[in-house]
Homo-oligomer: A and B are copies of this chain.
């Protein structure tokens, strides 16, 4: 049965597997000090236009969020996120495990609003009891958001400006970064993103890698001096760091990362139009690789034995928000098969 459940259903992009095979018997030092990591870091710096950026490879998203946030905050500081933010909902309390509160603002289709952020901060700093409260020292946003939506360049710039005013760090969770940058609605480039935040990560797991996220501090002085030790302390240091270096080296060779992403977005737009043709409404008008059609119970019943997808949220009247995701691995044959099912709904 074909699956559009998520963008991590398959293994790795073939170019990654090839590179793993090709380099397999080369002896290299551990813990990220190998030639493959060094090469990948250089390629990422070039892609960013930031020759002195600090880049570190971690294994997974929750781990990366938890390690970065804990490394950049003092013990009594907290991080602001949308109510629907991954760190606020789906990380099993990993941020709190490291001692920090996730302070939530309303989510607007997965995004926080700069005006509301500013109002919240004004309120906090004007409160006579602020010293009895968790100090907000970082803003966390996801790009794309958990609902597949995108911040515009102006929206991120506005948030950044507020962060500067209040001496807060801006952290961008890029678990699906490629799918955001490759969207036709995106008005932002990778180098521009690097200018607009203090730290972000380039998601590998969901964009063609077996695992791996590349944490980037565009300005080297922003990176915590002891970040290597902090990674180790968080259980996030791979002995065979090469596994991550090789994968990101492949992803940043010959434009692969963006090629993968563009291809997935093209396929997502085809999925979107399949539902549109049938007049099926969407929960959110997503410009990225996750699509959220609202299906009736009978539509779900009709599809569920032929194709896998996720029930995202139940709605009144026996309708449900569903999620269909494409990825680097989605094939035209899978799309054709899906189309045949949808057209018969």
Contacts and interface: CB of A to CB of B under 8 A. Distances in A.
Interface of A: 2-3, 5-6, 8-12, 14, 17, 20-21, 23-30, 59-64, 66-67, 70-71, 74-76, 78, 89-94, 96-102, 128-129, 131-135, 205-206, 210-211, 224, 226, 228-230, 232-240, 242-243, 308, 310-311, 329
A99 B97 contact: yes
Contact of A232 (B2, B131, B236): B131
A74 B43 CA distance: 32
A27 B2 contact: yes
Contacts of A26: 10-11
B96 A101 contact: yes
Given A62-B235, A99-B96, A205-B240, A20 B25 contact: no
B59 A232 contact: no
Given A11-B20, A25-B11, A99-B96, A75 B6 contact: no
Nearest to A63: B235
Contacts of A67: 235
A128 B314 CA distance: 12
Contacts of A17: 17, 20-21, 24
Given A25-B329, A93-B134, A235-B235, 20 more contacts: A2-B27, A10-B26, A20-B210, A60-B235, A60-B238, A62-B235, A63-B236, A75-B99, A90-B132, A91-B232, A91-B233, A92-B134, A92-B233, A93-B100, A93-B101, A96-B134, A205-B239, A206-B239, A210-B240, A211-B240
B12 A28 contact: no
A6 to B, nearest CB: 6
A226 B135 contact: yes
Contacts of A10: 24-28
13 contacts: A9-B28, A17-B24, A20-B20, A27-B308, A63-B236, A75-B233, A76-B97, A76-B226, A90-B129, A93-B100, A128-B310, A132-B229, A135-B226
